[in-house]
Amino acid sequence: MTRYMVTAALPYANGPIHIGHLAGCYLPADIFVRYMKLKGEEVLFICGSDEHGVPITIKAEEMKKSPQEVVDYYHDIMEKSFKGFGIEFDNFSKTSIPLHHENAQKFFKTLNEKGYISKKTEKQYYCEKCRRFLPDRYVEGTCPHCKAEGARGDQCDACGKVIDNVSLIEPKCKLCDSTPVIRDTEHFYLDLDKFQNKLKTYLDSRTWWKENVREFSLGWLKDGLKPRAITRDIDWGVKVPVEGYDGKVLYVWFDAPIGYISSTMEFFNRSGKPDEWKKWWQEEDSKVIHFLGKDNIVFHAVIWPSMLMGVGGYNLPYDIPANEYLNLEGKKLSTSRNWAVWLDDYLTRHKPDILRYALASTLPESKDTDFSWTELQQKNNGELADIYGNFINRTVQFITKYNDGRVGENPELRNEDNEFLDTISRKVQSIGKLIEEYSIRKATYEFMDMAREANKYFTVQEPWVLGKKDKSRLDTVLYVCMKAVVALACAGEPFIPFASKKLQAFLGIKNFRWDSISSVAVPSSLEGRELEILFTKIEDKTIEDEKARLGRKAEEKSAGKNENTLSLSEISIEDFKKVELVVARVLKAERVQGADKLLKLSLDLGTEKREIVAGVALHYKPEDLENRKIVIVKNLKPAKLRGIMSQGMLLAASSSDKSRVKVLFPDESCEPGDTIG
Ligand SMILES: [Zn+2]
Ligand SMILES: [Zn+2]
């Protein structure tokens, strides 16, 4: 039996996930995997966060955090968003784990031993003050092409041109603003040229790929592949496993795809079968399928297969069903301009199924498509609520209200009933076939068409008339309608899993196989069962609010509001309540050696003793504070200052230039441990 090793592009851990990512690969991959699992296929769905590279270190410097803290933070946000949208990975790993570092180093070593890696000396900016090489994005200067200021080491945003190595005019180190020097540095290169012919044969043989993906990949081979640098001079990443190359790490695009394999290993290590991953990546009857967005095609269709061929023993990607781009309200999605719908934010207001369904109907499968809130409203109101929800609801209501909850067990099916049931079965089959071809949009239409047909049947049969004149015919019609409800509950699972699971629970459906949906049993009675409304209408006002919100967020971004620094006006009362302010008594105050601004304070908090470090030494002598009561923030993360762990922060008022600093002393009748707020 064929095994399906399915991956979705590793999301980069320097921000949350938006709808573009969801439409690009996570949603189609999840729909595919859910269907394949329901079909009874052996499938593994693997992902993880991509956590190395310069954008992470830059983000870390902006946020004044370590790179590890940054990637941990975004990993959690991403994982929650995926869970919230029902993207059910078998494993969601991280590339910063030791297992992955070892694995990536092993890839490097093998390629090196087999002669696929070469070395080259190149020129790079080096900051003597920071004592480090400066990757492209750490240098800014004047563009040599258009003379615009603020061009990065690798590209000018003003004219869009690529900037050749070390050619900026008046370059400056972004970290310290001093002028860097140019130094020689040695880097490792993957000799892609050595794979040119093999790659051509490989790509030519992939006749079943989407045309845009194969054409694009073959295009890369036209001018002949050249060696590509696979190392960089930064600290954050997988260390180059060669002696004498300290301070160099593997380029993130080199280690990232290896992350799929590491994530698979992690999954099987956890389940106590450490060798099982080999089956999925190396045995002939496994098919590796990479879901991804257009920008990732070259890495997966050209570079990754080269790496796999070079190392040897691995299956080459069987298919790469890459999607094009999704636009938002007619404009290109943009993280830097904050023109996006962020998944974590969406989930605070709306149901995941609605966005899943709306996006599935407009996936950019063969060309760029557009998402709009108005269309989401139409999809929800006009289809999920009015067609799908309506049919289920009217059937269930009719049975409960007018037929004592009985469904009728001995139907006498007429031609028209059989024809209708055949149509439903054919549609279920067709949905499956379309998903296997990665035509998710068409599969989604076909699913809604099932509900449309079912409504038609209900209307034509007029059960409300039958109830008065032909009880046995009514039983049959209701039974047939319930067969359709069951089919919708099962076939909807890949698209709208949350509503489908609810409906399945209502119907008592536990396990079913896709190919036998038409024989899943219909409950004989609905007595005592209750079904909540699955989809309600979205008001116009809600949609207007969402559109206004999009514009507002983009404006805030262009006005320079950084999402990493909470502006006070945006803190909710709930946020403020998280800050614990308490009264403390200063037991002892002393100067900190070598720091003329700091005082170390030993405090009594009523129930415990603590030490904090406060920057008030220029304004207060130790004896001014001893025995006084002060207010501190109690639940700050402890921080080390001059080697002393500070477990809180003292409250003080200061003039804007800090020339005047006054500690806030609470009323003398306050007691240590009293809370404020
Ligand atoms: Zn320029
Ligand atoms: Zn510097």
**Mind listing the pLDDT tens digit for each residue in 542-578?**
999 999 999 998 888 877 654 443 333 345 676 677 8
pLDDT at 197: 97
- 318 with 391, same domain: the answer is no
Q: Which domain holds residue 627?
A: 578-676
Mean pLDDT of 62-77: 93
- 209 with 100, same domain: the answer is yes
pLDDT tens column, 457-486: 999 999 999 988 888 999 999 999 999 999
Judged by its nearest atom, the ligand closest to the C-alpha of residue 128 is 2
Q: How far does the centroid of ligand 2 lie from the alpha carbon of residue 149, in Å?
A: 18
Judged by its nearest atom, the ligand closest to the C-alpha of residue 126 is 2
- 285 with 415, same domain: the answer is no
Instruction: Taking the CA atoms of 19, 21, 22 and 23 in sequence, report the sign of the dihedral they define.
Output: positive
222 phi and psi angles, rounded to 5 deg: -55, -50
Q: How far does the centroid of ligand 2 lie from the alpha carbon of residue 131, in Å?
A: 7
Judged by its nearest atom, the ligand closest to the C-alpha of residue 179 is 2
User: Which pTM value belongs to this model?
Assistant: 0.81
Partners of residue 269 on adjacent β-strands: none
pLDDT at 137: 83
132 lies in some domain: no
Domain termination residue (choose one: 302, 325, 348): 325
pLDDT tens column, 472-529: 999 999 999 999 999 999 999 999 999 999 999 999 999 999 999 999 999 999 998 9
pLDDT at 657: 66
244 lies in some domain: no
Q: How far does the centroid of ligand 2 lie from the alpha carbon of residue 124, in Å?
A: 14
- 303 with 385, same domain: the answer is no
Closest alpha carbon to 170 in 199, 154, 200, 147: 147
Q: How far does the centroid of ligand 1 lie from the alpha carbon of residue 582, in Å?
A: 54
Please tell me the distance from the alpha carbon of residue 256 to that of residue 262, in angstroms, as a whole number: 10
Please tell me the distance from the alpha carbon of residue 222 to that of residue 196, in angstroms, as a whole number: 10
Please tell me the distance from the alpha carbon of residue 253 to that of residue 232, in angstroms, as a whole number: 11
- Terminal CA-CA length for the chain: 64
Q: How far does the centroid of ligand 2 lie from the alpha carbon of residue 608, in Å?
A: 44
In this structure, are residues 25 and 87 in contact, taking their beta carbons and an 8 Å threshold? no
- 497 with 591, same domain: the answer is no
pLDDT at 401 over 70: yes
Domain termination residue (choose one: 290, 325, 360): 325
pLDDT tens column, 647-661: 889 999 887 667 788
Alpha helices in 114-232, H assignment, sequence order: 196-205, 211-222
pLDDT at 568: 34
**Residue 619 DSSP class:** T
Neighbours of ion ligand 2 (CB under 5 A): 127, 129-130, 173, 175-176
**Beta strand 3-8 pairing with 42-49:** parallel
**Mean pLDDT (the chain, rounded):** 92
Q: How far does the centroid of ligand 2 lie from the alpha carbon of residue 154, in Å?
A: 17
487 lies in some domain: yes
- 200 with 297, same domain: the answer is yes
Judged by its nearest atom, the ligand closest to the C-alpha of residue 161 is 1
Q: How far does the centroid of ligand 1 lie from the alpha carbon of residue 232, in Å?
A: 24
- 281 with 403, same domain: the answer is no
What percent of the chain is predicted at pLDDT more than 70? 97
pLDDT at 637: 80
pLDDT at 572: 61
156 lies in some domain: no
- 316 with 459, same domain: the answer is no
Query: What radius of gyration do the chain's Cα atoms show?
Result: 31
Please tell me the distance from the alpha carbon of residue 497 to that of residue 505, in angstroms, as a whole number: 12
Q: How far does the centroid of ligand 2 lie from the alpha carbon of residue 233, in Å?
A: 14
Q: How far does the centroid of ligand 2 lie from the alpha carbon of residue 234, in Å?
A: 13
- 609 with 477, same domain: the answer is no
**Cβ-based neighbours of 578, under 8 Å, separated by 6 or more:** 635
- Per the listing, tokens 């329901």 go with 38
Please tell me the distance from the alpha carbon of residue 649 to that of residue 639, in angstroms, as a whole number: 10
pLDDT at 145: 92
The three-state secondary structure class of 539 is: coil
Q: How far does the centroid of ligand 2 lie from the alpha carbon of residue 148, in Å?
A: 22
Q: How far does the centroid of ligand 1 lie from the alpha carbon of residue 111, in Å?
A: 38
245 lies in some domain: no
Q: How far does the centroid of ligand 1 lie from the alpha carbon of residue 180, in Å?
A: 20
Which CATH number is 31's domain given? Answer: 3.40.50.620
Six-digit token pair at 17? 């996930």
pLDDT at 571: 55
Please tell me the distance from the alpha carbon of residue 99 to that of residue 293, in angstroms, as a whole number: 27
pLDDT at 569: 35
- 621 with 491, same domain: the answer is no
CA dihedral 322, 323, 325, 329 (to 10 degrees): -160
Q: How far does the centroid of ligand 2 lie from the alpha carbon of residue 174, in Å?
A: 7
Domain termination residue (choose one: 309, 325, 341): 325
In this structure, are residues 544 and 398 in contact, taking their beta carbons and an 8 Å threshold? no
How many domains in the chain? 3
Judged by its nearest atom, the ligand closest to the C-alpha of residue 176 is 2
Q: How far does the centroid of ligand 2 lie from the alpha carbon of residue 133, in Å?
A: 9
181 lies in some domain: no
Q: How far does the centroid of ligand 1 lie from the alpha carbon of residue 227, in Å?
A: 27
- Let me know if 55 is exposed, middle or buried by CB neighbors in 10 A (0-12, 13-18, 19+): middle
550 lies in some domain: no
- 388 with 514, same domain: the answer is yes
- 64 with 207, same domain: the answer is yes
Please tell me the distance from the alpha carbon of residue 363 to that of residue 227, in angstroms, as a whole number: 35
Which CATH number is 660's domain given? Answer: 2.40.50.140
436 lies in some domain: yes
Q: How far does the centroid of ligand 1 lie from the alpha carbon of residue 324, in Å?
A: 28
Q: How far does the centroid of ligand 2 lie from the alpha carbon of residue 381, in Å?
A: 56
Within 13 Å of residue 401, how many CA atoms lie on the same side as its CB? 8
- With residues binned 3-state (H G I as helix, E B as strand, rest as coil), the percentages for the chain, rounded to 5, are 45, 20, 35
Mean pLDDT of 622-647: 87
Judged by its nearest atom, the ligand closest to the C-alpha of residue 157 is 1
pLDDT at 204 over 50: yes
Judged by its nearest atom, the ligand closest to the C-alpha of residue 168 is 1
Judged by its nearest atom, the ligand closest to the C-alpha of residue 169 is 1
pLDDT tens column, 366-389: 999 999 999 999 999 999 999 999
pLDDT at 323 over 60: yes
Judged by its nearest atom, the ligand closest to the C-alpha of residue 141 is 1
What is the maximum alpha-carbon separation in the chain? 98
Judged by its nearest atom, the ligand closest to the C-alpha of residue 61 is 2
263 phi and psi angles, rounded to 5 deg: -65, -40
Judged by its nearest atom, the ligand closest to the C-alpha of residue 180 is 2
